Amino acid sequence: MQIPSDTHFIYVHGFNSSPKSFKAQQVLECFRHSGAASQLSVPELSHFPDEAIEQLKSLVEGADKVLLIGSSLGGFYSTWLTEHYANACAVLVNPAVAPHRLLSAMLGETENFYTGQRYQLTHQHMAQLEALFLPQTTHPERLLLLQQQGDETLDYRDAVGYYKTSRQIVQPGGSHAFDGFDSMLPLIMDFATGTLDPELLTHAPQV
């Protein structure tokens, strides 16, 4: 698998996740094996959305060409960044479309699955997420949706509908973790270089 040398990649983890997550580690191993570890950032994001976006903005602004790989809440952040930075495109892995609606049912004490950090999920978090919500995307050509219908956390139809004008690969079955994610890494590199085979797409985008 060839990793394009002109692109910096950023893996953006999801809610209560971290660089220690399984998908993040698969991406890290891929870049290490290819001798391109310096082209990848996997930041540990703040649980405050405003702080997380600032962390990510500094990484996007520091590179000429960026591809974000955003999982779940990371897909939501990646969508916002792609809309605001012309040098960025994104692959969205079972992304959260409107996390302020989903997570409002989880207010109170919560814990990061990997670090063990405990904190209060508050209305402040929800307000910050809602401020980042985009009613629609305006640069659909910069996005690739990777979605599995068996996602037990998010309704896959939300993402399929929201990103309907972007390229999509929608698979039956699977899970929120995205089963077989490592098999998608070559396709992510093809998307980064503009060589993704249209025959692999679920449908042609209407842009």
Whichever domain contains 108, its CATH number is 3.40.50.1820
Cα–Cα distance, 206 to 138 (Å, whole number): 13
pLDDT at position 127, please? 98
Q: Which two tokens stand for residue 109?
A: 């004490």
Cα–Cα distance, 165 to 168 (Å, whole number): 9
Query: Does a structural domain hold residue 204?
Result: no
Cα–Cα distance, 181 to 84 (Å, whole number): 27
Residue ranges of the chain whose pLDDT lies below 50:
204-207
pTM of the complete model: 0.95
pLDDT at position 147, please? 97
Query: Does a structural domain hold residue 172?
Result: yes
Query: Does a structural domain hold residue 148?
Result: yes
Query: Does a structural domain hold residue 100?
Result: yes
Residues of the domain holding 160: 8-194
Query: Does a structural domain hold residue 163?
Result: yes
Contacts of 94 (CB under 8 A, 6+ apart): 71, 72, 75, 146, 147, 148, 151, 153, 154, 156, 159, 176, 178
> For the chain, how many structural domains are there in total?
1
pLDDT at position 203, please? 65
Kindly list the strands in the beta sheet with 167-171, ordered across the sheet, starting from the edge strand earlier in the chain. 40-41, 8-12, 66-71, 88-93, 143-148, 167-171
Query: Does a structural domain hold residue 3?
Result: no
Which candidate, 134, 166, 171, 130, places its Cα nearest to that of 149?
171
Query: Does a structural domain hold residue 2?
Result: no
Q: Which two tokens stand for residue 65?
A: 């060409």
pLDDT at position 204, please? 47
| DSSP symbols for the chain | -PPPTT-EEEEE--TT--TTSHHHHHHHHHHHHTT-GGGEE-----SSHHHHHHHHHHHHHT-SSEEEEEETHHHHHHHHHHHH-TTEEEEEES--S-HHHHGGGG-EEEE-TTT--EEEE-HHHHHHHHHH--SS-S-GGGEEEEEETT-SSS-HHHHHHHTTTSEEEEESS--TT-TTGGGGHHHHHHHHHT---GGGSSB----
Contacts of 195 (CB under 8 A, 6+ apart): none
pLDDT at position 2, please? 86
pLDDT at position 50, please? 98
